[in-house]
A and B are shown apart, each in its own frame.
Chain A
Amino acid sequence: METLYAITTGVLTACGLYLTLRGRTFPVVVGLTLTSYAVNLFLFSMGGLTTDGATIVHGDGNYADPLPQALVLTAIVIGFAMTAFVVILAMRARSEAGNDHVDGKKEDRE
């Protein structure tokens, strides 16, 4: 499971990074979203992956580390708000500048 998990996170990060470096705002927003998914997965795995573990009830036995789950929840909420904001910003930039290039210049379009 660890290998599959690591590969998934890695592929998501790589795709996110590639798209973030594109010149148009839409791929950049999608890239940022993919990166935040990858980050959430990564954070989740930081307490170690536990198979067949329960939540902490009495403090003994095989249980999953609850803290990364709380962190991921916070990160998801914040990431969601930021994505919503950046989408609106990209749309306003599109209407003000007349094109969707991140620098707002037409001649630089691919």
Chain B
Amino acid sequence: MMQHLIVLPVIVPLVAGILLLYQRQGLIRYKRIVSILATLLTLATAVGLVNVAVQGEIVYYALGDWQPPFGIVLVLDRLSALMLLVTALLAIGAVIYACAGDDEKGSNFHGLFQWQLLGINGAFLTGDLFNLFVFFEVLLLASYALLLHGGGKARIQASVHYVVLNLAGSSLFLIAVGILYGATGTLNMADMAQRLASLPAERQGLVTAGALMLLVVFGLKAAIMPLYFWLPRAYAAAPAPVAALFAIMTKVGIYAILRVYTLLFSDNAGALSALEQPWVWWLALATLAVAGAGVIAARDLRLLVAYLVLISVGTLLAAVGIRTPAAISALLYYLIHTTLITGGLFLLADMIGQQRGKAGTRIVKGRPMVQGGGLALLFFIGAIAVIGMPPLSGAIGKALVLNAAEGTQRLWLWPLLLLASLASLIALSRAGSTMFWRSHRGSLSGSVLPRRQWFGVVWLLSAAPLLVALAGPISEYTQATAEQLANPQRLIDTLLPAAEEAS
């Protein structure tokens, strides 16, 4: 059983999704139970996998028992286990929030939700470049349908841009994979890393082109500076639980950048090693600058949170650009924090919008809210965490990232990251004071919100104090992960033991 544990994060959502296809609408109670149970099972599996990964061993699962480099493998190391766990934690909050009524606004919400989880989990586990493309398509197709859930003009408009851009991105992905296959003759990432180490000089140009094209594709998913324009509108238009789940989607792009470039273009790759670094570093800084301006300019709470996601993308990518183990460790800590907190803030923004009635999530004066006190408290906690002020988790995450920068990198990163944080401080305090303090005239608006919605938000936002309380063990784990990523030879030796004996 234990050896098959790796494949469960893919199988469980797949089976649950198929079961949930039965009848487009109706049977909502049973569907909710199936969906929540499947998500809980995924969470339990993720916890089990982290327990396996924490021992430092890299485990792989050869699908159909076709051994690497020929078959498709699922690889479990510390990084993928961590990403699975974060996804499952986020999904629990989102799915329980959706059970309060958002899932009835269209058809097949839970089935699509599970398939999106299938795509995300698969992308985190796979050790094959083409298989990564397939899982990307699975998660994208589910996300297209989820983004449209509930309908409406704004959603359809945002979807057109999102879908067209991602289809173009998929074409680029295929071209890049094709080039890399043509140059190295393999699709297994470990095998490719090995072959890149002894690449004939005349093929280096080809591999560089393929690798940088991949960076464009992953950059589109992660929303780097010139490729982010789809993000604010799509995230602001998406239904709340979907937007919360989308908080992990940009991180899929960042995970892919980390995985592909630390494995394929490590120090062993000779002239090609770290070829993405200058691009990622400067584009990350540009992302931070633009996102800071966007946060200030946003006139709608959901748009504001979408730009906060963009700031976190810039911060994470800057850490990818620094590329030292200390920076990767800081990145992973910050990634857990930002995924859960921004997910929670999307849910919270939706609750605030429901209570404010006509004023919605626009940052304008409105009538006071029935449950204004509770919402204000949660908003305050979420804001402090996401801005990065002590005592909550954002402060530790940002301090770790800032500390990881060295020499002239500090000169660039410190002012930009701190100014972006200042921008979010200004924007969030303006939003909070307008919506909670200046809106005191008139009768109370809104009805009492369902308990499931409160649970979803509290579940996600409670990550902020918990990440501080458990900062010791978590940063130990992320440091070990960063070291594992810095030594890709271990992974290659695990997957291809025969090659090790031969050499």
Interface set of A (CB-CB < 8 Å, partner B): 20, 25, 28, 32, 35-36, 38-39, 42-43, 46-48, 67-68, 71, 74-75, 78-79, 81-82, 85-86, 89-90, 92-93, 96-97, 102-104
Contacts and interface: CB of A to CB of B under 8 A. Distances in A.
Nearest to A44: B178
B182 A46 contact: yes
Closest 9 CB pairs of A and B: A46-B182, A46-B178, A43-B178, A39-B174, A104-B157, A39-B171, A35-B171, A96-B153, A93-B156
Contact of A28 (B153, B164, B175, B181): B164
Contacts of B177: 43, 71
Contacts of B161: 102
A82 B171 CA distance: 11
A102 B165 CA distance: 12
Contact of A85 (B141, B168, B174, B187): B141
The interface centre, meaning the residue of A20, A38, A43 with most chain B CB atoms within 10 A of its CB, is A43
A86 B395 CA distance: 42
Contact of B167 (A86, A92, A102, A103): A86
Interface in B212-267: none
Given A32-B167, A39-B174, A85-B144, A78 B160 contact: no
B494 interface: no
Contacts of A48: 182
A32 B175 contact: no
Interface of B: 130, 134, 137, 141, 144, 148, 152-153, 156-157, 159-161, 163-164, 167-168, 170-171, 174-175, 177-179, 181-182, 187
A12 to B, nearest CB: 11
Contacts of A81: 141
A25 B144 contact: no
Contacts of B144: 85, 89
Given A102-B161, A104-B157, A82 B167 contact: yes
Contact of B174 (A20, A25, A43, A96): A43
A102 B163 contact: no
Contacts of A103: 157
Nearest to A48: B182
Given A42-B174, A74-B134, A85-B144, 10 more contacts: A20-B164, A20-B168, A32-B168, A36-B167, A43-B175, A46-B178, A67-B187, A74-B130, A102-B161, A104-B157
A46 B184 CA distance: 11
A67 B191 CA distance: 16
Given A35-B171, A82-B170, A96 B156 contact: yes
27 contacts: A20-B164, A20-B168, A32-B164, A32-B167, A32-B168, A39-B174, A42-B174, A43-B177, A46-B178, A47-B182, A68-B178, A71-B177, A71-B178, A71-B181, A74-B130, A74-B134, A86-B167, A89-B144, A89-B148, A90-B160, A93-B160, A96-B153, A96-B157, A97-B156, A102-B161, A103-B157, A104-B157
A92 B156 contact: yes
Contacts of B130: 71, 74
A86 B163 contact: yes
A14 B480 CA distance: 47
Nearest to B136: A78
B156 A42 contact: no
Contacts of A79: 170
A25 B160 CA distance: 9
Given A46-B181, A86-B167, A97 B157 contact: yes
Contacts of B171: 32, 35-36, 38-39
